[in-house]
Structure 1
Amino acid sequence: MTRQEIFEQIRKKKSFLCVGLDSDINKIPRFLYDTSDPVFAFNKEIVDATHDLAVAYKPNLAFYESMGVSGWNTLEKTVNYIRYNYPDIFIIADAKRGDIGNTSHHYARAFFDALDFDAVTVAPYMGSDSVKPFLSYVGRWVILLALTSNQGANDFQFLKEDNTRLFEKVITTSQSWGDIENMMYVVGATRAEMLKDIRALAPDHFLLVPGVGAQGGSLAEVARYGMNDQCGLLVNSSRGIIFAGEGKDFAEKTRNAALQIQSEMAQLLAEKAII
């Protein structure tokens, strides 16, 4: 999917919502346990309920890999279901991979050839040769970890050398590896004020922003500091949407939670004269 196609979806849906499919089998409604694949049944209901409100879905690989082979099969079925029924939606593998070049090449094959994701999150710590194999796939995206929202981010990401913080070095250096057509950055919503500094370094790149919803990030603050003239944001909400309900009406409650966020996004896009 191209940058322009993502932008067209944002304008069409008046939304820059990414729904995180952090589908914990221990938290899904109990009645789904009677189905042959409870997590897939859950994901299907979530996607059907929100596909017109979301521009992207982001399965977190940990929730699938922890179930072994059956979890990988569930992931494959989920991606295929979205791809077949809602082909205009951007699909992100939240995998946080990053290894030596040969290994990264096989990770890229797994997510882009075997599973047909549009994008994969990648850790930059091992440098350019660990990232470039993902960038060799035309029409696919790397979403590079830049500034995360967890407490441990303070351990390394704010370290300074020559008055430059490490996350800033990641952003400036990596722009020679890819461009605005194949690279995004992860920036946590709980550090929304830092988006101003990030936009100074990467004014045109899309940013994937987790942390809105259950983690307490402010959508208005994210838009204030991070939105550009083509929106430039994919804001993710996971638990706050997919676990909005526990009973047989969980999909309806999920939709209501997504609609509330989408309505706020529409207003923010209108204020920026994007829609």
Structure 2
Amino acid sequence: MTRSELFSQIQQKSSFLCVGLDPDLEKIPTHLLSEPDPIFSFCKAIIEETADYAVAYKPNIAFFEALGSKGWDTLAKVAEIMPKDVFTIADAKRGDIGNTSKLYAKAFFETMNFDSVTVAPYMGKDSVTPFLDFENKWVILLALTSNVGSLDFQLIEDKSGKPLFQSVLEKSQEWGSPENLMYVVGATRGELIGEVRKVAPEHFFLVPGVGAQGGSLSDVARFGMNSTCGLLVNSSRGIIYASGEKDFAKAARKEAQKLQEEMKELLEKYS
């Protein structure tokens, strides 16, 4: 999917919602456990009920690969049923060098046809650029995450006072462009989203941490939105586990709709 196609979807749906698919066998409704493939049944129902409001879906690969070969089969089936008009994200957080990265890219971009994959920047250019060689595919690079451990490295300052996340942003823009490179920027530090936006004014941000993790959607929009929205805000647990009963998919739809309605107001206000 191209940048213009993504922005078109945002405009058409008045939404910048990404639904995170984190299907845990211990958390999905118990009535699904009798299904031949409970994880697929769960994801399928969530997708069908939220597709009117979501412009992106983000399967967390760990929840699938933890199930072994069956989990990979399930992931492939989930990828196949994604609506054609949505942006798909393989949340795999890969980051190796040379041929290894090239094969990771081939797996997610060609074999499973995802639009994007999350990538860790720690090993530098040769761990990222193989993913950028695929036309109309995206790298979503970890820049400033919302977990507690992010403080261990991402905010460390060099001798000039520049935090590490800023160096990652500046250097990586030499490798890709706003047409194929996004950044993960956590929602729980609203004011820092503004700092990231100053360094990367045109790039899209994938923003986790809204909802269950306490991030403010209004702050994310205020600090992070640009003229083409520039945001994909992810909600996982707050949507997919809105109910643990047989109405789980309908409950997910209601939560997605609530976020979409708020996003519509924010788009009118800031973009």
Q: Same fold (TM over 0.5)?
A: yes
State the 1:246 CA deviation.
1.0
CA contact (8 A) 1:101 1:131 kept: no
For the residue of structure 1 that corresponds to 2:42, the secondary structure is helix
Q: Secondary structure at the match of 1:189?
A: coil
Identity of aligned residues (%): 59
The number of equivalent residue pairs is 270
1:212-244 deviation line (CA, Å, top 9, x unaligned): 011110000000000001100000000000000
Structure 2 alignment gaps of length 5 or more: none
Give the Å deviation of 1:191: 1.2
Q: Secondary structure of 1:190's partner?
A: coil
TM-score (norm 2): 0.99
State the alpha-carbon separation in 2 of the partners of residues 260 and 100 from structure 1. 41
1:87 aligns with one of 64, 84, 103: 84
CA RMSD of aligned residues (A): 0.6
What are the ranges of 5 or more consecutive residues in structure 1 without an aligned counterpart?
none
Match of 1:16 in 2: 16
Determine the C-alpha separation between the residues in 1 that align with 2:49 and 2:203.
29
The CA deviation at 1:101 is 1.3
Indicate whether 1:125 and 2:122 are aligned. Answer: yes
- What residue is the counterpart of 1:111 in the other structure? 108
What letter corresponds to residue 173 of structure 2 in structure 1?
A: Q
Contact 1:58/1:92 (8 A) holds in 2: yes
Q: After the TM superposition, which residues 223-242 of structure 1 pair with which residues of structure 2 at under 5 Å, given as runs? A: 223-242=221-240
Distance of 1:140 and 1:251 partners within structure 2: 30
Deviations 1:128-181 (A, max 9, x none): 000010000000000000000011101000111121110000000000000000
TM-score when normalising by structure 1: 0.97
Question: C-alpha separation between the residues in 1 aligned to 2:115 and 2:268?
Answer: 27
Q: Which runs of 4+ in 1 moved over 3 A?
A: none
> How far apart are residue 192 of structure 1 and its match?
1.5
Could you list the per-position Cα deviations for residues 10-67 of structure 1 after superposition, in whole angstroms to 9, with x for gaps in the alignment?
0000000000001111110111111110000000000000001000000001100110
1:97-149 deviations in Å (ceiling 9; x for gaps): 00111110110011011111000000000000000100000000000000000
Corresponding residue SS for 1:164 = coil
Partner of 1:32: 32
What residue number does 1:144 align with? 141
User: Aligned equivalents of 1:230 and 1:92: distance in 2?
Assistant: 19
SS at match of 1:146: strand
Counterpart Cα distance in 1 of 2:213 and 2:146:
9
Deviation of 1:271 (Å):
1.2
Once residues 271 and 130 of structure 1 are traced to their aligned partners in structure 2, the CA distance between those partners, rounded to angstroms, is 38
